[in-house]
Amino acid sequence: MLRVVKVRLYPNTQQKQLLEQSFGNCRWLWNYSLNLMNETYKNTGKGLSGYEVKKLIPSLKKEHEWLKLTYSQCLQQVCLNLGVAFNNFFEKRTKYPRFKSKHGKQSIQYPQNVTILKQGLKLPKIGEVKAIVHRLVEGKIKTVTVSKNQCHQYFASILFEDSQEKPAERTDGKAIGIDVGLTHFCITSDGSKFDNPKFLTKYENNLKWKQQQLCRKKKGSNNCNKAKKKVAIVYRKIANCREDFLHKLSRRIVDENQVIVTENLNVKRMMKNHCLAKAIGQVGWGMFMTMLKYKAENEGKVYQEVDRFFPSSKTGHICLNQVGSLPLDVRQWTCENCQTTHDRDINAAINLREEGLRILTCGTRDKAYRQTVSRINRGRKKSTTTLVSGLWPMLYACVSAGTVHPVAFDLNKKCHKVPIPDTLSQYQ
Catalytic residues: 179, 263, 345
E strand residue ranges, 204-352: 259-263, 302-306, 332-334, 341-343
CB 312 within 8 A of CB 320: no
Which of 368-381 are b and which e, b meaning 16 or more Cβ less than 10 Å from the residue's Cβ? bbebeeeeeeeeee
Positive or negative, the CA dihedral 214, 217, 220, 224 is negative
Three state DSSP letters for 118-138 = CCEEEECCCEEEEEECCCCCC
Give all strands (DSSP E) within 298-380, no chain letters.
302-306, 332-334, 341-343, 373-375
**SS3 state at 320:** coil
d(CA 24, CA 21) in angstroms, rounded, equals 5
Q: In angstroms, what CA-CA distances link 197 with 98, 188, 245, 343, 344?
A: 35, 17, 8, 21, 21
Residue 332 bridge partners (DSSP): 343
Query: What is the phi-psi region of residue 375: left when phi exceeds 0, alpha when psi lies from -120 to 50, beta otherwise?
Result: beta
